[in-house]
Amino acid sequence: MKKVLITGGAGYIGSHIALALLDRDREVVVVDNLVNGSLQALARVETITGKKLFFYHGDIRSAADLDNIFRRHHIGEVIHMAGLKSVSESISRPDDYYQNNVVGTLNLLDSMRRARVRRLIFSSSATVYGPQPCCPVDESCPTGATTNPYGTTKLIAEHYLRELAAAEPQLAITALRYFNPIGAHESGLIGEDPCGIPTNLLPYIFQVAIGKLEHLCVYGTDYPTPDGTGVRDYIHIMDLAAGHLKALDNLQPGFRVYNLGTGKGYSVMEIINAVEKISGRQIKWQPRKRRKGDAAECYADPSLAQRELSWQAERCLEKMIADAWRWHSAYPQGYVKE
């Protein structure tokens, strides 16, 4: 059977997908420039699964790096996860985001064309729906009102892939719009390890729980939600990984897009309470004004993936937090920095 190439496979989501693929007896090749990924994550994936993967320290902006991999391995499918993902950083460094997320994607598709690889899964994001989506958000909800370069680069990449698939009918491309991936593999050996101060809610809360950060700032406590704080759809990382396997199984010529979410929203206060209960630690927090562009609530309608991919998220919030806590409490410093 042909191998699966994961770009960005040493990162948070990619390493969990690599694990799920190896568990399924697929051969996996990872390319990552390690700007935000870790070789430790991949070593632990090999330990957990008892299987080896192929790793290339390379960059998706380099045609030579990618062509070399396609020459050496018989790749059947690509899961394209490599990219930069911080909303705030994208506002101060838009060039880097366009280069990595847009130019990198064009470059990857060029290399795939030369290697005659025609099957691709693309990591997109619920941010493409823009700041005030109507919930539950289904795939037909309007896109295009992105408020930051990160979201715009994801949307541009989606448009490009859609138009490419229309022009080249042999291409089979699926874009998966993730809601909020959290949690860790249940071994607690791999998990999310953000560089510097985390920008996502859960890693931030866990850093407060382990005493690395003093308190959490809660932006907006007067939203029209049951407790006034923002509501989001959190999905367990292993459910997200399972969604990728189903998407691979169901890849068909053309361009498709699916939400990967649970369909249920939790407020910031509910998350804080759940982390306190599971970790036994107090989470100090302070109220702050709403941030411009933040929605009161955003949760998915995941029924299209359920119908067409036979996939649905199975793990509850307690499981997401318990698995994440196992990782963060065992490895408070994250991976050893290479």
Ligand X SMILES: NC(=O)c1ccc[n+]([C@@H]2O[C@H](COP(=O)([O-])OP(=O)(O)OC[C@H]3O[C@@H](n4cnc5c(N)ncnc54)[C@H](O)[C@@H]3O)[C@@H](O)[C@H]2O)c1
Residue number with the smallest Cβ distance to ligand X: 11
Closer residue to ligand X (CB): 84 or 135: 84
Cβ 305 to ligand X, closest distance in Å? 15
Q: Tokens in use for 51? A: 């299987």
Cβ 11 to ligand X, closest distance in Å? 2
Question: Which residues are paired to 235 by β-bridges?
Answer: 181
Distance CA 233, CA 261 (A): 6
The beta strands (E) that lie in 170-313 are given as 172-178, 180-182, 216-219, 231-232, 234-236, 254-260, 266-267, 285-288, 297-298
Q: Tokens in use for 154? A: 């994801």
Residue 58 CB neighbour total at 10 angstroms: 19
Closer residue to ligand X (CB): 49 or 105: 105
Phi, psi for residue 302 in degrees, rounded to 5: -95, 15
Distance CA 196, CA 93 (A): 16
3-class DSSP state of 146: coil
Are the beta carbons of 108 and 66 closer than 8 angstroms? Answer: yes
Cβ 282 to ligand X, closest distance in Å? 26
Residue of 12, 150, 204, 331 marked active site: 150
Closer residue to ligand X (CB): 240 or 309: 240
Closer residue to ligand X (CB): 164 or 228: 164
Cβ 120 to ligand X, closest distance in Å? 13
Closer residue to ligand X (CB): 289 or 323: 323
Closer residue to ligand X (CB): 14 or 302: 14
Cβ 9 to ligand X, closest distance in Å? 7
Closer residue to ligand X (CB): 255 or 335: 335
Cβ 38 to ligand X, closest distance in Å? 7
Categorise residue 130: left if φ over 0, alpha if ψ from -120 to 50, beta otherwise. Answer: left
How, if at all, do strands 119-125 and 172-178 pair?
parallel
Q: Tokens in use for 61? A: 């902006």
Distance CA 129, CA 138 (A): 9
Distance CA 46, CA 50 (A): 5
141: amino acid identity, one letter:
C
Distance CA 189, CA 191 (A): 7
Q: Tokens in use for 107? A: 């470059």
Instruction: Establish whether 56 is a catalytic residue.
Output: no
Per CB under 6 A, residues contacting ligand X are: 7-8, 10-14, 31-37, 59-61, 81-85, 100, 104, 123, 125, 178, 180-181, 200
Task: List all residues 6 or more positions away from 219 whose beta carbon is below 8 Å from its beta carbon.
Answer: 230, 288, 289, 290, 291, 294
Residue 37 CB neighbour total at 10 angstroms: 24
Cβ 20 to ligand X, closest distance in Å? 14
The residues annotated with a catalytic role in the active site are 150
